[in-house]
Each structure stands twice: as C-alpha cells, then as structure tokens.
Amino acid sequence: MARLILIRHGETKWNVEKRLMGQSDSPLTPWGRRQVELVASRVSDISFDRLYSSDLGRAATMAGAISSVCGAPVVYRQDLRERALGVFQGLSWEEAALRFPRDSELFHSDPDFCVPEGESRRDFSLRALGFLNFVADSHDGLTVGAVTHGGFLDMIFRHVLGIDLMAPRSARLMNASLNSLDFENGRWILRTWGDISHLEEHEPC
C-alpha cells in the first residue's frame, strides 16, 4: 500500500481576484501566508517518506514550510504544476471570453482543445495520471506528500472516481486543503477530500 497526501497551495492574490493563474504565479495573500503556517502545524506529526512539490512559487512556499517541520527534503517536479493556460493566464473568465470567444467556448466543451500556448484538458489529465502511476509503482509502503494546485486536484478526483473530464466540477478545491488517497490492491481509493479543519478556527487576515 502507498498513501498519498495531496496539499493545495495557500491563497494567492489572483485566487481572490478570480484570475486564471495556470503556470504563471501570483503572490500569496496575508491569509495565504497564514494558511501555510497552519498546514505546516497540521502535518508536523506526519512522517513523510517522500515530499514532492510543483516548482511554481505558490506551491514551493507551502512545500518549504512542510519540509521545515517534517524533515523530508522537497523534490520539485514540473508534472505537479497547474494546467498551462497559455493566453488565458492573468485574465478573469469574463476577460478570456471577451478577448478569445472561440477559444473560450472550446475550452469549456472539448477536452482535446489546446489553449494557445497552453495544454489540453486531456493532456493535463494524463500528466496527473502519470504522477499517480509514479507513486503507485515506486512507493510501496510509503507515505508521500505532494504540494500541487486546484486543477491538478480536480484531475486526480475525476480519475479516481471515474468522472468524465467534461462533467461539471463536483469536488471542492480548497486552498491549503489536505486530500488523501491510498493505493491498495491495484487501485486508488479516496480517503479524505478538502480537509480544511486546521483552518476553521482561524479568521482570514
């Protein structure tokens, strides 16, 4: 058995502004920085055998804090990055629809549509599945932590539960959430999702 704990980065300025980050970056808000501290405290008693992280700044900040309390070194992996959103990055959904109406329509209807300078939803899903396979194939008996992004979590959730790529999103993708899965008897089993209990007694700054 392998256990995988996926952790989403803290809140960013663009999260608050509802802008599409993709593989661009945005600074953490004061509440996002506090979330990093609260997650580090929450996981301080978990013995991670391996700790992986997206190399994007918002995820790397969270991973560094976790590493400092757990002792596991961070291995940065580009396959844990958010979906590349190309020309949409930095825009709101409304702005994207106005500037790129046809691309915006296809983005929401065709899993094989590749955003200009970005990647398709199907390719993104295959990238997430590749990481799951990597953990399953080479981490038997280990507890693995991975700091990643909301879109990546969505791809994992859909794969494990067999949800179509274009179905309406049904999973909550919370900043600074813990999401755990076990690999048992050749398949992934979802154990917890969107756990933010470590945040609930604290108010955003």
**Residue-wise burial string across 13-37, b where 16 or more C-beta atoms lie within 10 A, e elsewhere:** ebbeeebbbbbbbbebbebbebbbe
Which residues are identified as catalytic?
9, 82
Rg, C-alpha atoms of the chain: 17
Alpha-carbon dihedral angle through residues 48, 64, 157, 194, given to the nearest 10 degrees: 90
Largest CA-CA distance found in the chain, in angstroms, rounded = 50
Residue 173 has which token pair?
């993708």
Residue 85, judged by CB atoms within 10 A of its CB (0-12, 13-18, 19+), counts as buried
